[in-house]
């Protein structure tokens, strides 16, 4: 069984630029999560999808972050414009088993 796929692995951008991350969950998994993990901290949920609907986006900074899962399969997380404090690892996971991808390390300079 293929795992959760994420790309890119690394991204370096300047502040005020935009960036997008992609996630393809395990086949058949209806629930998809995006977590933000700042260095030295545990992951924090940004948004949770059930199929193509949003279950929880209470911690998503909606003035700059957006996410979509149009066909209920893969998902894209976008940041526009990026700030220095957005530097973090962005982890995607899918359920029912809450399996994680390898994450994208974003550095904003």
Partner 1 sequence: AQTVTQSQPEMSVQEAETVTLSCTYDTSESDYYLFWYKQPPSRQMILVIRQEAYKQQNATENRFSVNFQKAAKSFSLKISDSQLGDAAMYFCAYSWKMAGANSKLTFGKGITLSVRP
Binding interface with partner 1 (CB under 8 A)? 30-31, 33, 35, 40-45, 48, 50, 55-56, 89, 91, 93, 95-98, 100-103, 105
Q: Which residue has the tokens 């149009």?
A: 70
Q: Least distance in Å: CB of 83 to partner 1? A: 22
| Comparison of 81 and 102: residue with beta carbon closer to partner 1 | 102
Q: Checking phi first, is residue 51 left (phi over 0); if not, alpha (psi -120 to 50) or beta?
A: left
Q: Least distance in Å: CB of 24 to partner 1? A: 15
Q: How many residues does the chain have?
A: 109
Residue 16 makes CB contacts below 8 A (sequence gap 6+) with: 81, 82
Q: Least distance in Å: CB of 32 to partner 1? A: 10
């Amino acid at each position: 069984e293929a795992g959760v796929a994420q790309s890119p692995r690394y991204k370096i951008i300047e502040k005020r630029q935009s960036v997008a991350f992609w996630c393809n969950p395990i086949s058949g998994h209806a629930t998809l999560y995006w977590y933000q993990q700042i260095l030295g901290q545990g992951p924090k949920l940004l948004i949770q999808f059930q199929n193509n609907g949003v279950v929880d986006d209470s911690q998503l900074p909606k003035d700059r972050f957006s996410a979509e899962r149009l066909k209920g399969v893969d998902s894209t997380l976008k940041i526009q414009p990026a700030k220095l404090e957005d530097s973090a690892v962005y982890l995607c996971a899918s359920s029912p088993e809450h399996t994680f991808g390898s994450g994208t390390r974003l550095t904003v300079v």
